[in-house]
Amino acid sequence: MRHAIATLSLSGSLPEKLQAIAAAGFDGCELFETDLLSYPGRPDEIRRMAENLGLTIEIFQPFRDFEGVHPEQLERNLVRAEHKFDLMEQLGVELMLVCSNAQPDISGDPALVAEQLHRLAERAAARGLRVGFEALSWGTQINRYAQAWAAVEAADHPSLGLILDSYHTLALDDAISPITQLPGEKIFFLQLSDAPRESTRPPRYSRTLRSFPGLGEYDMTGFVAAVLKAGYAGPLSLEMFNDEFRAAPAGPTAMAARQSLLWLEERLQADVQLPSQAERPLFQPPRAPALNGFASLELAMPPVHRQAVEQLLGSLGLVEQGRHRRAPITRFAGQAFDVYLRETHDNAAVTVHSLGLACTDSQALLMRLEGYGQATRDDDDLGGRLLTTPAALALRIGPDANLDGRFESGQHPAPSDCRLSGVAFALPCGLLESESGVWRHLLGLPAASTGVRHESQGVVRRRCWQSTDGGGEIVLETSTHAGTSVGRALSPSAGLDQPATCVALRLEVDDVVATAQRLSAAGLAVEPVPANYYHDLAAHQALSERDRTLFQAHALRYERRGNRDYAFLQLTVPGNEHLMLEVGEYRTSEA
Amino acid sequence: MRHAIATLSLSGSLPEKLQAIAAAGFDGCELFETDLLSYPGRPDEIRRMAENLGLTIEIFQPFRDFEGVHPEQLERNLVRAEHKFDLMEQLGVELMLVCSNAQPDISGDPALVAEQLHRLAERAAARGLRVGFEALSWGTQINRYAQAWAAVEAADHPSLGLILDSYHTLALDDAISPITQLPGEKIFFLQLSDAPRESTRPPRYSRTLRSFPGLGEYDMTGFVAAVLKAGYAGPLSLEMFNDEFRAAPAGPTAMAARQSLLWLEERLQADVQLPSQAERPLFQPPRAPALNGFASLELAMPPVHRQAVEQLLGSLGLVEQGRHRRAPITRFAGQAFDVYLRETHDNAAVTVHSLGLACTDSQALLMRLEGYGQATRDDDDLGGRLLTTPAALALRIGPDANLDGRFESGQHPAPSDCRLSGVAFALPCGLLESESGVWRHLLGLPAASTGVRHESQGVVRRRCWQSTDGGGEIVLETSTHAGTSVGRALSPSAGLDQPATCVALRLEVDDVVATAQRLSAAGLAVEPVPANYYHDLAAHQALSERDRTLFQAHALRYERRGNRDYAFLQLTVPGNEHLMLEVGEYRTSEA
C-alpha cells in the first residue's frame, strides 16, 4: 500500500521534514499548514522540493471551523477557502482536509451543514479540487465519524468525501464495524495514530499521546481492516500529534514511522486475515523468528578497569574461554550466552558495546529487516550482523559459524550457571517511540508494558518487552529529570545526538547467596539495603523469618515475579558508576 | 492554623525533606512510608530528627488494601497493621492513614467493611493509636467521601475517623456542601492539593498534576471552608503527588508550599467570609496592593555591547536621563518606567538584572511579604527592596524617595512613549510551581492562564499572569526539550541550580511603524516574517490590503488581543541571542 505521514509528526523546518520523509521511503505526506506559514520560501518551491524528492503532497490540512455558521460567516469562510484553494494550486495539492467545527455557538442542523458543505465542494470542484470532511472528537456538533458521514452523504457532491482518523474514532470508543458498510470511494483519506488508553475524556488536549501503530493500546488493525473492507484504496497516513516527536530528530522518527506502517500491513494479514489484493498488496516480510533472550554481551573496557571487571566476572562464575586471534577481545562463557571483553582506549568508562540477540532463525530475521528497509552491517571481529538502532545501540544478529575459530584455542572450562536475563537502556528524551519500534515492529515482540519509577530526584518512564521465551527482558528508560539514574547516565548537555547507554544488566544464577559470598570475598561492594526494608517484608509476612535473616545478611532484596519468589542483589559495575548490575535467583517458596 | 506537608511532595532523602519542611516553617509532616523504606537509619532516629527540628509527624501513610477482604486475608492484614503500629510507636506517630482498597475482587458489603474497620480500630486503640479512613477516588468499592464516612459511622469506634482529601473529592466533582454536616471531631485529618481540570477521568494516574492551592482549577477555599465549618480542628496538610516536585530542590518547594497554605487561609476569609476563630486563627496579612505593571528594568551589560544596546534604546525613543553618582549605571526613562543599564564584567551576555514592580502601595506589599515569611533585601544602588524568587529572579519593590538624588543631574528630556508591557522568563524544569507562587500567593494576582507553544524543535509550557491594571504581563516558561527557545536559553548541563533567565521583553509604543523605521535606520535587524504568513492573513480577511502591505514591508505581525488589533515586530536584543524583544502597538481597526 502507499504510505504517507503528516509533516506535523516531525521536528524541524518544512524542508528538513520533507527530506526525512523521503529518506524513510514514504510515498507522500500531509502538509500541515502551520509548517508552511513558518517557511520563508514560496509554496511552489515546496511543490518542486516534494517532486524532486519523489513525494506526493497528498492533502492540505487543516481547514477549520467551516460548517454550521451564520450566512455572513459562511461567505467569509468561502472566501477563506478560495484563498487556500489558490495555495493548493501552487502546492499542486488536490485534496483539502476540513475538520468539524470546534467553535461554540454553531448550528448542528443537518440540512444547514449539508448545504454549506455542498457549497464548499462546488467551489472546490470548479477548480478541480476535492474536500474531505473529518469529525474531530472534540468537535462541537459533529464529533463521530457517523455524523460526519451523514453530513457528507446529505451534501451529496462528488467532490466531497469523508476522512477517517483512528485517533478520533478510537478515543471515543466508537464502533468500528459500521465502517465496513461505508462506500469505499467516498473515504477520501485515512489518518492513523495509536495512543494509550489513559487519554483524557472527553478527548481534548492530546498532543503528547499519539504514536506509531503498535505502541499504543488501540485496535489499529481492526480499525484499518474495517476501512479497507469498505473499499478504501488511498494511502495509509500517520498523523501523530506528539510533543516528543517535535523534540526528536526527524530522521529516526520518519524511519520508525514508515516501519510501523509496514508492520501494520503485516498485522492486517496475520491478525485479521485481510487478504492481500492486487490493487493494494500488503507487505509480507518473513515472520519474526522467536527471540529467546540474549546470546552475547560485549563490554568495552579501558585497560585500567580490567582487573576489577575480571574479578566481577569471576565472582559470577564466568571463566575465560580464550583470546581473540586478532582483536583485543577476551571471551567468557555463561549459560547460553557469551561475554566479550573488548579492551579499548576510546572510552573512560566500561560500557555495553553490543548486545547479541538469541533468535531461532537469524537468516529469517535478517531477511525480515531487509524487507523493512532496515540496514545492518558486518561485524569483522565477532561475526554476525549488527543493527544500529535509532538511539545508536548495536544489536548483534546471527552466530558466526566460524566464531570458535576466531579465538585462540586453550582451556575451555564448563560455562558458568549465569544467564543474562535483562538489559535496560537509558535514552535521550524523544527517542523512546522510535527505539521502541525496533522491538515491536522489526523484532515483532508483543506489546510492551509501560510504567514509571519514582526516584528521590525525579521520575523515570519505561517500556518493557519480554522475549518470546520469557527468559529475557529489554527495558527502555527515559527521564526529563537530570537527577534521576537515567538523567545522570546521560549527559544533559549532549542532547539528542548522544547514544543511548546501558544502565542495568540483570543476571540470573542458581545460587545468589553463594554469588553474594564470592562478591564479598572479592571485595566487590553490594548496594546496602536499609533495615526498614526488611521490617516491611516482615509486616507483609512475605518470607520465612529464616530467609529474611539470610536475605538481610547478604543485602538481598525480595520480590514476587509472576508466581515465583525472586531474590536479588545489586551492585555498581566497576568502571561505570551509572551501570547497575542485578544478580538474582528464582527460588521455590517454602511450603 | 497548623500546617503540614506530606514527605512525598518533596525531592531528596527523608532527612533532607524534614529539614526543608522545618526550614519553611511547617508545624508537621505526613510521613510517606516509601520514604522510610529507603532511609538507612532506624525509625527512632527519624523521630528524634523531627523532634529536634520542631516538627510533629502528624500521620503515617498509607496503609493500603485493608477492607472488604476474605476472613483469612483480614487476619493477614491485621498482622500487617500490628507491624506498622510497632513502627508508629518507634516513630512517635499516633494516626495512621488507611486508604480505601483498590484491589479487584473485594467486597463492598457495608456490614463487612464496617466490621473489619472496627477490628482494625480496636487493635489501634489497644495501643493508644488512631486510624483515619480515606476514600481514594480510584478505590474499587469505596471512592467517595460519603461512602468512607458511612463506613466509619457504621464501624462506630472512637479510634476510627475520616480523612478528607481535596483531590479525591474534587476530581470526581463530588458535592462539597454535605461536608459541613459531618461531625468535625470525626474528621481526623485533611489533605490538600489543587489540580488542573483536565485530569483523566476516572482519576487514576495523577502523579504529575497535583499542586499548590491556587495553581490549579479546583475550588480549594470552598472545600476547606466546608471542612472547617464541620468543626475540623486539625492541620491543613498538603499532599501533592507531582513528578516535577520530585525533580526540584526541596527547599524552594517547601517554602512555596507553606506560603500557599497561608494564602489559602487569607482566601478563606476574603472569598468565603470564614470567620477567624480563637482556636484556629486565620492568617491575615495586609491585602496585596494593586500591581500596575512594571516600574523598572535593570539590564546588566558587558561594555562590549554598550553601543548596540544604546542604539536599540535610542531607536525605541529612550533617552539617557543621567548617570549614577557611584555605580556604573545609566538611567533611561520610558513612559511610567525606567531602564537602568548596569555595566558589568560578570556576564558575557546582556541580561535582565532586576525587574521593578509598579505596585500602588509598596509598604503594604513589604509588610505582606514579611507576614508570608518571605525575605527581602535592600538594593544599595537603586534603592527599594529586592525579592529573590525561587528561580533566583530579583524583583524590585518600592520606589526610593531619593532615587533622583542618586543620579547626576543633567539633561532630562521628555520620556519616550515606550511602555514595558510584558516579561517572559525561562525556568529550569521543576521550578514552575514554586515560582508561580510568587505571583499567585505573595503578589496576590488572579489565577494564571496556562498554555503551550509548539516550536519546531519541541514544546514550551507557559503560565501567564496579567497585572491588576491589565497593562503588564508576566510569563513563566519551561521546557523539557533542549532545542526549544527556552531549552537553548537555559544551559541543560547546569540543571536546577541555574537561575531563571529572561527570554522575552514586550514593549508597547504609540507608532510601531515609526519604531520599525528607526530600528532599520540604526541597522538593527528585525526578525523576518515569511510571505506565507501574510497570505494567510489575507485568507482570514484580517486586515485591509493597505495595512497588510504596510505590515509586510516592515515585518510586522498581527494578532487580535482581546477586542483590539495588535501589530508587532520582533528582534533579538544585541548581546543576548536568547532574549527576544517584541515591540508592538494597539491599533484601532478601520471601520
Listed by number, the residues of chain B in 12-41 with a beta carbon closer than 8 Å to a beta carbon of chain A are 12-13, 33-34, 36-41
Residues of B in Cβ contact (< 8 Å) with A482:
247, 492, 495-496
Interface mutation target, options A246, A460, A493, chain B, most CBs of B under 10 Å: A246
Which residues of chain B make contact with A38, given a CB cutoff of 8 A?
Answer: 456, 530, 532-533
Q: Which residue has the cell 572479592?
A: A522
Residues B245 and B300 in one domain: no
3-class state of residue A151 by DSSP = helix
Q: Which three cell numbers stand for residue A232?
A: 478504501
Three-state SS letters, B141-209: CCCCHHHHHHHHHHHCCCCEEEEEEHHHHHHCCCCCHHHHHCCHHHEEEEEECECCCCCCCCCCCCCCC
> B162 — phi, psi (to 5°)?
-105, 145
At residue A401, the pLDDT reads 73
B73, B80 contact by CB (below 8 A): no
User: Would you state the pLDDT for residue B280?
Assistant: 78
Residues B586 and B518 in one domain: yes
**Number of neighbouring beta carbons within 10 Å of residue A82:** 15
Within 10 A of A383 (CB to CB), how many other CB atoms are there? 16
Q: Is residue A339 part of a domain?
A: yes
CA-based nearest distance A412→chain B, Å: 43
> What confidence score (pLDDT) does residue B334 get?
86
Angstroms from B307 CA to nearest CA on chain A: 31
B residues 448-477 closer than 8 Å to A (CB): 452, 454-459
One domain for residues A20 and A101: yes
> Which residues in chain A have Cβ-Cβ distances shorter than 8 Å to B41?
530
Choosing from B473, B508, B543, the residue where a domain stops is B508
* Pairwise CA distance, residues B159 & B150, whole Å: 15
Residues A441, A337 share a domain? yes
Are B496 and A484 inside 8 Å of each other by CB?
no
- Span B95-115, average pLDDT: 97
Contact with chain A for residue B205, Cβ under 8 A: yes
CATH assignment of the domain containing B137 = 3.20.20.150
Residue A104 at interface with chain B, using a CB cutoff of 8 Å: no
Q: Would A219 be classed as within a structural domain?
A: yes
| Cβ–Cβ contact A538 with B under 8 A | yes
A217 contacts chain B (CB < 8 A): no
- Contact state of A13 with B37 under an 8 Å Cβ cutoff: no
Q: Give the H/E segment covering residue A387.
A: strand A385-388
Q: For chain A, which residues score pLDDT lower than 50?
A: 205, 591
Closest by Cα among B321, B311, B534 to B410: B321
One domain, residues B216 and B311: no
Please write the tens of the pLDDT for every residue from B280-320. Answer: 789 999 999 999 999 999 999 999 999 999 999 999 999 88
On chain B, the residues whose CB falls within 8 A of the CB of A195 are none
From chain A, pick out residues whose CB is under 8 angstroms from the CB of B195. Answer: none
Q: How far is B15 from chain A, CA to nearest CA, in Å? A: 12
* Closest Cα in chain B to A459: B243
Return the pLDDT at B567: 96
User: Residues of A numbered 474-503 whose beta carbons fall under 8 angstroms of chain B's beta carbons: which are they?
Assistant: 480-484, 491-493, 495-496
- Decide if B247 and A459 are in contact by the 8 Å CB cutoff: yes
Judged by average pLDDT, the poorest of A499-513, B204-218, B368-382 is: B204-218
Task: Report pLDDT for A242.
Answer: 87
Is residue A111, in this structure, part of any structural domain at all?
Answer: yes
With CA atoms as reference, the chain B residue closest to A39 would be B530
Q: Give the number of domains in chain B.
A: 3
Which residues 52-91 of chain A have a CB within 8 Å of chain B?
76, 79-80, 83-84, 87
Domain of B255 in residue numbering reads as: 3-272
A554 Cα to chain B: minimum distance (Å): 15
Q: Are residues B453 and B570 in the same domain?
A: no
Hey, is the C-beta of B43 within 8 angstroms of any chain A C-beta? Answer: yes
Does the beta carbon of B545 lie under 8 angstroms from any beta carbon of chain A?
Answer: no
For residue B412, the model assigns a pLDDT of 72
Residues B502, B514 within the same domain: no
> Would you give the distance in Å from CA B1 to the centre of its chain?
22
What is the reported pLDDT for A164? Answer: 97
Residue contact A76–B495, C-beta within 8 A: no
Percent of chain B with pLDDT over 70: 96
From A43, A454, A535, residue closest to B246, measured CB to CB: A454
Q: How far is CA A1 from CA A234, A266, A278, A285, A538, in A?
A: 8, 11, 10, 14, 59
Within a domain: A406: yes
* B279 assigned to some structural domain: no
Size of interface A-B (CB pairs under 8 A): 162
User: Of B60, B535, B548, B570, which to mutate for an interface test with A (greatest number of A Cβ within 10 Å)?
Assistant: B535
**pLDDT tens column, B145-172:** 999 999 999 999 999 999 999 999 998 8
Integer Cα distance of B235 and A215 in angstroms: 45
Shared domain check, A323 and A208? no
pLDDT one-digit tens code per residue, B40-88: 999 999 999 999 999 999 999 999 999 999 999 999 999 999 999 999 9
Contact of B197 with chain A, judged by CB distance below 8 Å, is answered with: no
User: Can you give the pLDDT at residue B591?
Assistant: 42
DSSP-derived pairing of the beta strands A394-397 and A385-388: antiparallel
How big is chain A, counted in residues?
Answer: 591
Do A386 and A464 reside in the same domain of the chain?
yes
Q: Determine the residue among A450, A457, A541, A557 to mutate to test chain B binding: the one whose Cβ has the most chain B Cβ atoms within 10 Å.
A: A457
Residue in B34, B35, B92 with CA at minimum distance from that of residue B58: B92
How far is the C-alpha of B434 from the C-alpha of B437, rounded, in Å? 5
Query: Does any CB of chain A come closer than 8 Å to the CB of residue B540?
Result: yes
- Decide if B200 and A205 are in contact by the 8 Å CB cutoff: no
Residue A538 burial class via C-beta count within 10 angstroms: exposed 0-12, middle 13-18, buried 19 and up: middle
Q: Do A87 and B535 touch (CB under 8 A)?
A: yes
B526-564 in b/e form (b: 16+ CB < 10 A) is: beebbebbbbbbebeebbeeebbeebeebbbbbeeeeee
Nearest-angstrom CA–CA distance, A250 and A17: 6
Same domain, B449 and B520: no
Whether A30 and A138 map to the same domain: the answer is: yes
Task: Please indicate, yes or no, whether residues B480 and B545 belong to a single structural domain of this protein.
Answer: no
* Contacting residues for A88 by C-beta, under 8 A, at least 6 apart: A60, A94, A96, A129
**What residues contact residue A591 under an 8 Å CB cut-off, 6+ apart?**
none
Cβ–Cβ gap A80/B539 under 8 Å: yes
- ipTM here: 0.87
Residue of B nearest to A82 (CA): B539
Residue A587 forms part of a structural domain: no
Cell readout for B232 is: 475540623
Contact B39 A87 (CB under 8 A): no
Residue A547 inside a domain? The answer is no
Return the C-alpha cell found at B562.
Answer: 482581546
Query: Is B181's Cβ below 8 Å from some Cβ in A?
Result: no
Nearest CA in chain B to A84: B539
Q: Which residues of A touch B42 (CB under 8 A)?
A: 531-532
Q: Do A536 and B452 touch (CB under 8 A)?
A: no
- We report the CATH number of the domain holding residue A446 as 3.10.180.10
Name every chain A residue with its beta carbon within 8 A of the beta carbon of B481.
Answer: 243, 246-247, 429-430
Of the three residues B454, B474, B508, the one that is the final residue of a domain is: B508
Which of B476, B508, B540 is the last residue in one of the domains? B508
pLDDT of residue A201: 55
Name which of B198, B200, B530 is nearest A40 (Cβ-Cβ).
B530
CB contact under 8 A, A532 and B36: yes
In a domain, residue B328? The reply is: yes
> Quick check: B206 pLDDT over 60?
no
